[in-house]
Every structure is written in structure tokens, then in C-alpha cells.
């Protein structure tokens, strides 16, 4: 989830993540007033098959279809929390707006694609453990 003032940094993060982890599908959702086609690395992204740029501005649909949401200070992050998604905040200028949510553990702060990947793997393990725990030990 991008914002026009920090869009280039969010885009570069998404591109680097997609390049480093080709088995993960990445959907970059630019802000409606963002001109992402002017980003220096935009044309490189055409060759990255697992990176999709959502030009329809239907972020809520993308949030619903996704497991993990990354942004900085977009209100879409709150929508993602409401839909029970794992939310990650990229540590760039403006991330402080979600300081309370980060401190309460509702969101996780990440600085690199490697750190994000590590958190995603941990979330998947926890989710699987919770699933099996509920499946076998929930007698309601």
C-alpha cells in the first residue's frame, strides 16, 4: 500500500522483495495520485513476473485476497487489520503515525525484504500451529 510522498521507496522495496523471493506474488498498490511509471526502476519491474501493479485502485479487494500487507502510513493498513491480515510497516519517514499499533503488536515494523520474509515465514508457522491446535483441541 503506497502513498505518493514515499511511493518510490515502497515501490523499490516491493521490487527488491519480488526479485529476491520469486515464489511470492507481490501486488503493488499505488496511491491514486501517484505516478509510479516515472520511478527509475519501473521499467525493470516488467521483467519481474511475480510483481503485479494494481492500476485499478481497488485496494480493498487486494487486501481481501492477500495474506500479508505492507505499507507505511496508509489507512489501508487499518482496513487490513480489520480483515485480520498480517500487517507490516516499512520503516521510512511517516511510519511513526502507527507507533501505538506497532507498540501494541498489531503491526510489525520491517526495514528490509529479508526481515519481512522472516516475519512472513514465522507468521505462517504460527498460523499453521493455531490451525492444528483449533482443529484437534477445540471441543466446542
| CATH annotation of 7-137 | 3.40.50
User: Which own/partner contact pairs does 77-83 have at CB distance under 8 Å and 24+ positions apart?
Assistant: 77/1, 77/107, 80/1, 81/106, 81/107
Domain spans of the chain, in order of start: 7-137
Q: What is the pLDDT of residue 42?
A: 74
pLDDT band at residue 3 using 50, 70 and 90 as cut-offs: low
Q: Which residue has the higher pLDDT, 24 or 42?
A: 24
Determine the average pLDDT of the residues in 115-139: 61
Task: Report pLDDT for 86.
Answer: 92
Q: Which tops the pLDDT comparison, 3 or 85?
A: 85
- Confidence grade of residue 138 (pLDDT, cut at 50, 70, 90): very low
CA distance 81 to 65: 13
Tracing cell 518510490 back to the chain, one arrives at 8
pTM of the predicted structure, to 2 decimals: 0.82
**82: exposed, middle or buried (Cβ count in 10 Å: 0-12, 13-18, 19+):** exposed
pLDDT in tens, 87-120: 999 999 999 999 999 999 999 999 999 999 998 8
Q: What is the DSSP letter of 38?
A: G
Amino acid at each position: 500500500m503506497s502513498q505518493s510522498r514515499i511511493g518510490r521507496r515502497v515501490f523499490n522495496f516491493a521490487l527488491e522483495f519480488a526479485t529476491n523471493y520469486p515464489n511470492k506474488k507481490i501486488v503493488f498498490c499505488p496511491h491514486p495520485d501517484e505516478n509510479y511509471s516515472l520511478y527509475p526502476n519501473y521499467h525493470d519491474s516488467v521483467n519481474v513476473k511475480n510483481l503485479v501493479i494494481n492500476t485499478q485502485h481497488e485496494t480493498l479487494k487486494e487486501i481481501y485476497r492477500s495474506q500479508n500487507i505492507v505499507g507505511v502510513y496508509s489507512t489501508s493498513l487499518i482496513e487490513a487489520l480489520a480483515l485480520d491480515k498480517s500487517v507490516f510497516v516499512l520503516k521510512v519517514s511517516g511510519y511513526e503515525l502507527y507507533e501505538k499499533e506497532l507498540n501494541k503488536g498489531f503491526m510489525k515494523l520491517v526495514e528490509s525484504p529479508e526481515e519481512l520474509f522472516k516475519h512472513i515465514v514465522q507468521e505462517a508457522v504460527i498460523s499453521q500451529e493455531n490451525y492444528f491446535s483449533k482443529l484437534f483441541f477445540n471441543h466446542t
